[in-house]
Amino acid sequence: MKKNIRKILIANRGEIAIRVMKTCRAMGIRSVAVFSDADRGSPYLRDADETFHIGPSTARESYLNQEKILTVARTSGADAIHPGYGFLSENPQFVEAVEKTGLVFIGPSSASIRTLGDKTSARAIARQIGIPVVPGSDGSITSPGQALDVARTIGFPVLLKAAAGGGGKGMRVVREEGELAAAFKMATSEAASSFSDDRVYLEKYILNPRHVEVQILADAHGNVIHLGERECSIQRRHQKIIEESPSPAMNDTLRAGLTKSAVNLAAHVGYTNAGTVEFIVDESGDYFFMEVNTRLQVEHPVTEMRTGLDLVREQIIIAGGGRLSLKQEDVTFDGHSLECRIYAEDSANNFSPFIGTIGHVLHPSGAGIRLDTGIESGSRISAHYDPMISKVITHGSSRREALALMAGALERYEIYGVKTNLDLLIWVINHPEFSSGIFDTNFLGRNYRPEMFDRIPAEVAELAAHVAALVHLRAEDRVRLCAEVHDASWTSRRSDYLR
Ligand code: ADP
Ligand code: ADP
Ligand code: MG
């Protein structure tokens, strides 16, 4: 049934709220933004037609508060809810509640999220229809004894994973039998506390694999298409930091296998809307299904740059009961696109989030560069939410061109007041192994040493920003002061690793 969507509530914040509202404007749809105490005055609220306060800073009491969000949807007269990513985007109870109120959820059905969001049931379905899955347990593991049986069958090392996990959290590598019982206990309690679901399962830990995923779109009229693959092997803490499309390690046979598997899986479960099927490719080039993300992905821009499509627009059309705006044979791929995720974090200290105020930021811009962010000078990185500052996306006619654009954009980026992973990203982008295109998820494990990044006196830069702010320096003097402190440290250490 076709539904007219005229007003969308975005149940999210920051960068992704801005991204969704951009498409709303282009489609003549009104937008409703929600905010917590911590987000009062945030840039994304300026882009919304209406804004509603939904509670205290903790996510549980605001962005995860289903009742509050549904109440705002009712009072604002929104016809649809876009969940962005994270928060409630993959929560089947929430989607069910949205469906019950007669509102449109811009994403798949609650039934699809229930089947595919649970990683063990998604594995079972993939296996049923003949898609190779990572060797591991059938369903979840309920005792250390069972874990040991499965581990002995598939061989060590193994990976314990939370059935409800996401964002790289809830994973534990186990290298030998003696560690398994304790690891099982810890993984179970971590899963319970992080995801309110203590179920864990077991997979063979594949050594030096690549993470390659396929973007799919499906409408309610039986049309399923794919938009090619994304290579996401540069990761820290099992979470992506650099993504690109196409994958530099692709051949036609592998691409055909991956895309066909992804489309078949979506068609088999009657999936609708945008989704991503994630695979792991081992050193011999064999691929295995890993999981499905039943939402818009953080790295969707690289696919948009290459295909010229607006994925949020497709999501809205599909959710409204419309047909996909194109067929598989009409999808075209142009050039190469790369994305770097800029995080406020400490590259020398286990990539831990860096909380603080951004005294000054100047985002790079220019031809071939797209910048998605919800941060401006004065924005605060709070402990309550994800510490991502922005995504820099470049698009060129070749990988080499996209890389050169990225190197330039990252070099020009000015962020003072918090530690960021900018230096780490610049190092990766310039690393010969990365430029060669032959790398895997163990790139950092193999090449990175915390000492390479531990002389960055961000505290000094932060102090400079504070002092400058206190003495009411003119904005440009403040920038110069921060830049001088930063440049002095940067010049002294860049020669260490940029050769
Ligand atoms: P993607 O899977 O889109 O590449 P991430 O894995 O980084 O990106 O997840 C997207 C966002 O959602 C991040 O902010 C991450 O912290 C958050 N997230 C994803 N899944 C979960 C989850 N199950 N629990 C908590 N946060 C999650
Ligand atoms: P999440 O839901 O947190 O995204 P995934 O199952 O997608 O969890 O795994 C995240 C990352 O962890 C993968 O991209 C990959 O780098 C690593 N990983 C997951 N499963 C395996 C495995 N069986 N072997 C090796 N690495 C894995
Ligand atoms: Mg994943």
pLDDT digit string (tens) for 356-394? 999 999 999 999 999 999 999 999 999 999 999 999 999
Residue 492: is its pLDDT beyond 50? Answer: no
CA of 431 to the centre of ligand 1 (A): 27
Q: What's the chain's average pLDDT?
A: 93
Do residues 301 and 339 touch, judged by C-beta distance below 8 A? Answer: yes
Q: Which amino acid type is present at position 71? A: T
CA 239 to ligand 2 centroid distance, Å: 8
Q: Once rounded to an integer, what is the mean pLDDT over residues 323-339?
A: 97
Average pLDDT over residues 279-285: 97
When pLDDT is averaged across residues 324-341 and rounded to a whole number, the result is 97
pLDDT over 70 (residue 468): no
Q: List, as one string, the DSSP characters of 423-468.
A: HHHHHHHH-HHHHHT---TTHHHHH--GGGGTT--HHHHHHHHHHH
Mean pLDDT to the nearest integer, 25-40: 98
> Which residues belong to the active site?
295
Per-residue CA distances from 191 to 151, 165, 194, 197, 389 (Å): 20, 7, 5, 6, 27
At residue 329 the predicted structure's pLDDT band, cuts being 50, 70 and 90, is very high
Grade residue 175 by pLDDT with cuts at 50, 70 and 90.
very high
Give residue 244's pLDDT.
Answer: 98
CA of 56 to the centre of ligand 1 (A): 21
Judged against a pLDDT cut of 60, whether residue 490 lies above it is answered with no
Report, as an integer, the average pLDDT of 72-91.
Answer: 97
The minimum-distance atom of ligand 1 relative to the CA of 278 is 2
Which atom of ligand 2 sits closest to the CA of residue 240? 14
Neighbouring-strand partners of residue 242: 234, 340
Name the residue with higher pLDDT: 39 or 454: 39
Q: Enter the tokens of residue 152.
A: 């002995």
pLDDT recorded at residue 491: 47
How many angstroms does the Cα of residue 495 sit away from the middle of ligand 1? 35
Q: Is the pLDDT of residue 493 over 60?
A: no
- What's the rounded mean pLDDT across residues 187-193? 93
For the CA of 134, the nearest atom of ligand 2: 23
With tokens 């990044």, the residue in question is: 453
CA 301 and chain centroid, separation:
11
Contacts of 82 (CB under 8 A, 6+ apart): 8, 9, 10, 11, 12, 20, 106, 107, 312, 315, 316
Mutation choice for ligand 1 from 300, 386, 388, 441, CB with most ligand atoms inside 8 A: 386
With a Cβ cut-off of 6 Å, ligand 1 is lined by: 85-86, 166-168, 195, 239-240, 293, 297-299, 386
Give per-residue pLDDT as tens, 125-159.
Answer: 999 999 999 999 999 999 999 999 999 999 999 99
74-83, 288-297, 475-484: least confident range = 475-484
Query: What pTM did the predictor assign?
Result: 0.93
* Confidence at residue 2, expressed as pLDDT on a 0 to 100 scale: 85
- Which residues have CB under 8 Å from 36's CB, separation 6+? 13, 53, 54, 55, 56, 57, 58, 59, 61, 62, 63, 384
Q: 278 CB under 6 A from ligand 2?
A: yes
Residue whose CA lies nearest to ligand 1 atom number 20: 166
